[in-house]
Structure formats: C-alpha cells, structure tokens
Amino acid sequence: MPRYALLVALMILFTGPLPAAERPSFLFIPIDDLNHWVGHLGRHPQTKTPNIDRLAKMGVSFTKAYCTAPACNPSRASLMSGLRPTSTGCYDNGQNWRPGISEDLLLNTVLSKNGYRVYGAGKIYHGAGDRGGLFDDYFAGKGGNRKGRPDAKDNGVGGISFAPLACADEDMPDHAVVSWCIEKMNEKSDRPFFIAAGLVKPHMPFSVPKKWFDMFPLDQIQLPPHLPDDLADVPPAGVKMAKPEGDHARIVASGRWKEAVQAYLATIAFCDHQVGRLLDAWEKSPRRDSTIICLWSDHGWSLGEKSHWRKFALWEEPTRTVHIWKVPGLTPADARCDRPVDYSSIYPTTLALAGIPIPSHADGKDVSSLLRDPASAWSHPALTTHGRGNHAVRSEDWRYIRYANGDEELYHDAKDPLEYVNLATKPEFAAKKAELAAFLPKSEKPDLPRGRGGEEGEGETPVRKKGKKKAK
C-alpha cells in the first residue's frame, strides 16, 4: 500500500492531530446553483457533463446529497462553519451571517491555524467579496457575471435571465478563477494546501458564450417533468414557496420555457468545462497523489417542476445537489452512495481526513465510513431548512416537510421520485410522519440581522465587507 494510502486509512482511527507535513491537500470545488442535472445522476437526459462524471468515476458520488438550506448565503455559511441554520439564525440570502458565526470556527480558519496554505477564489461564501475567515491569498475574480454583448435583444423573462454571449471562454470570470487556482496548485511548498475554486456559473444569468448554447438545439430541448395541477395537494405554505403566479406563470405565458432550459444546460456545460480544467491540472500537479478532491453545489434549482423556479423551496429539485469525494487510498473508484447526507457533513469530514480533531460545535456527522464503504450502515437522514420553522427531512426513501404554520407534506420518493403525491393527510402514514419528525430541530435560533449577505442578482444584497484577507 502506498505510504499516503496507509496514512489516510489510519486517519479514520486517528486520535490526535497529524503533523502538518503528513496531511493531505484539498481541492474544493464549490459550484453555484447547480442542481442534479449531471450525467451520472440521470435527472435530465440532455445534460452534458463529461468532467463532473469523470470525477464521479474516480471516487464516491452521493446520489442523495442535500443542502442544509436552499439559498446561497445560509447554505455556504452552514457548510463552512459546520453549523446548521437553526444553530446560527442565518436562514436566507439577505442576512449577515457574521453575528451568528465566529470566524474562528470557519473551516478555512481552522485549516490555516493547523498549518495549511489556504487559498480561495471566486464564490466560496455568499459573494466573491465575502472573504470569511483566514486565507493566505484570495482572488475574487475579474469582471461581473456577464462579459460581451448578448446575441439576443431580450435577456430573459422577468427575473429569469438568460441569453448567449458574444465573447470567449477566457473572458468569463470563472475562467480566471480556475487559472488562478491552477497556479496555486503548482506552487512549491512543504505545507499542504487547501484550495477552494468557487465557480459562479450556472448561477443566473444563464449567459455563457454562444458555442455552449449551440450544443443544445432549441428544437430538441426536453422540458423537465411537470404536472399542471401538481400543487393541488400541496398545503398553502408550500404553494406560497412555489410562487406559481410569479416566475412560472410569466415563463409559460412568454412561450420561452425551452429557451430557459437550453440556457441552463448550456451554462452547466460551461461549468463542467471549468471543472475539467481543474481536473486536468490536478492530474499533472506535484501533489496529485496526496490531494483530496471534494466537489459540491450549494443547492439545487427548479425550472418549472411544481410550477416553481429558482431554489427557495423544500422539495427534491431545489434541495438535491451534486456531491463527490475522491480520497486517495480510501474511496473506491466509480462508486455511488445512496445514503442520505446533507452538507453539515462536509466540515467534520474534511477535518477528520486532515487528521485534525473535530471541534465540538460541529452539528454534522463525519461521512468517512461511507467514503470507505458506500454501502455501510447509516442512520442519519438529511435535514434542510428554508426560513425559521420550515424544514425537510430526507431519508433514503422518504421526504417529510413541516412548515412553520404546521402544514405538512410527505412523499414516498422511492416510489414517487418526482414527488407528485402528497401523502401527509392520509392516516395510514401517521407513523412514518412521526418517525421522520423526530429528526426535526429541537430548537431554533432567531433570525440574524438583515442588510448584508448577498451577491448581485436575484434580488440579493451585494456584499461590501472584505473580511480578513491573509494569514501569514
């Protein structure tokens, strides 16, 4: 067994911190607004993601991975702190997470204090300018979310913005972020690195160079599954989250639903290309054999399922994510794990694999046992929160939603993967509801202050605070 592989195997049983020189490096690939439309998950038949699928073949892909919150700010604050939204009070995009989370607890800060070279680029927290915690160096990226002139005069429908761009890949901010991270990957040092390459696309606007749109001819686009009356058995609180008279009504009236789907597929393909650039560089990098790769998207995205668009809801589409780990010497190749996990697991798992003791504040569970054996026993469902009092519990076969006003939904996802039939009102499922309700939070922090915590776009508030920049 290679020396590093032996070290990784021992990390799972390790009882004290490893010396910095013996620790693995980490390549984190956070992706913004990417739902489960990737090839190996099979949710949309037309998606083209050869590089994300290539990474899945290298390690373990979680087929039932879920965000802790279906919005950028609370999802990322939770993931990077190890604290659920209910432990911090950060529930939505308009809030400032800092009063609820000490920056000393953040993952990048803990790694920095344990000997890592910590580098960040692009969107890691809720905006490229939101540099939470300690970094040795940070690259916010160049330019805005668009480059070049759209080829179409109309850039979308209402708040759903999309159009091809008349520019090259090299003009896009994500390209510069990846190039910067590749440089850091090839730096010479005796210290391991933690590199977070935060890709903004496919966040809206769904606008990338036109060549990516050309991969998906408009006359061949398949819409996502949708029932016109799907909200008929959804309680009022769920219908309020869906907002069917908003984005969806406007998209349908415009006749441009297929254009929006085409644009999202094109933007995913562009994102996948950037992931491929990172993987190509990793394969040639000096620390290739001692680098752990963790890819995650901050939440899902709906494109008309349940007459809902965007994230901001508790069903499968806005909460299910893409999540892949490759750990040298630990993860089997081309493995799928069907156990439900949520993103509270990433913080403790990263520290466990680094040989760093997991702080007591961490809410989530270390999934190292699932990385070693994806079929091993697991008794923890995934928990997602959207706004104080609104929660979804996702087990391997079921989804239970309880809203702040007491409204409920229950779906047997094993038999009803599109969540068409709400079983919550049927007496024969009372025991199943009670079983899943036992995993709901026992307490919830009040909402944090509003006014800082978003990035430009989707009605979110721009971040201005740069935070701590360097740790030397």
**In the chain, where the domains are located:** 3-8+24-229+244-380
Q: Which helix H or strand E contains 26, and what residues bound it?
A: strand 25-31
The pLDDT tens digits for 210-232 are 999 999 999 999 999 999 999 99
Q: Please give the CATH number for the structural domain made up of 3-8+24-229+244-380.
A: 3.40.720.10
pLDDT at 151: 53
The pLDDT tens digits for 183-204 are 999 999 999 999 999 999 999 9
- Between the CA of residue 465 and those of 118, 197, 400, what are the distances in Å? 19, 20, 38
> Residue range 130-143: average pLDDT?
88
- Say yes or no to pLDDT of 289 above 50: yes
Quick one: pLDDT band at residue 142, thresholds 50, 70, 90?
Answer: confident
The pLDDT tens digits for 291-310 are 999 999 999 999 999 999 99
Quick one: pLDDT band at residue 356, thresholds 50, 70, 90?
Answer: very high
Task: Give this prediction's pTM.
Answer: 0.92
Both tokens assigned to 380: 């923890």
> Residue range 393-407: average pLDDT?
98
Q: Taking the mean position of all CA atoms in its chain, how far away is CA 323?
A: 7
Length of the chain counted residue by residue: 472
CA pair distance 172, 352, nearest whole angstrom: 35
Owner of token pair 């080829």: 151
pLDDT at 409: 99
pLDDT at 196: 98
- Say yes or no to pLDDT of 262 above 70: yes
Residue 425 and residue 97 in contact, taking contact as beta carbons nearer than 8 Å: no
Which alpha helices (H) appear in 329-438, and where do they start and end? 346-353, 368-372, 430-437
CA pair distance 217, 200, nearest whole angstrom: 24
> Residue range 363-382: average pLDDT?
98
What are 320's strand-pairing partners? Answer: 66
Residue 294 C-beta-side C-alpha neighbours within 13 Å:
24
Both tokens assigned to 364: 């989530």
Q: At what angle do helices 3-11 and 346-353 cross, to 10 degrees?
A: 130
Residues designated as active site: 72, 126
- Say yes or no to pLDDT of 60 above 90: yes
pLDDT at 446: 97
- Say yes or no to pLDDT of 162 above 60: yes
Q: Which residue has the higher pLDDT, 61 or 150?
A: 61
Worst-scoring range by mean pLDDT, 8-22, 223-237, 352-366? 8-22
pLDDT at 140: 86
Residues ≥6 apart with Cβ < 8 Å to 374: 60, 332, 335, 336, 337, 338, 339
pLDDT at 19: 72
Closest Cα to residue 400, out of 417, 418, 412, 415?
A: 412
Q: Which helix H or strand E contains 335, and what residues bound it?
A: strand 335-337
- Say yes or no to pLDDT of 468 above 50: no
Indicate the residue type of 455.
Answer: E
Q: At what angle do helices 50-58 and 257-284 cross, to 10 degrees?
A: 50
- Say yes or no to pLDDT of 18 above 80: no
> Residue range 64-78: average pLDDT?
98
- Say yes or no to pLDDT of 181 above 60: yes
Residues ≥6 apart with Cβ < 8 Å to 170: none
pLDDT at 149: 55
Quick one: pLDDT band at residue 143, thresholds 50, 70, 90?
Answer: low
Owner of token pair 């001819």: 217
The pLDDT tens digits for 413-428 are 999 999 999 999 999 9
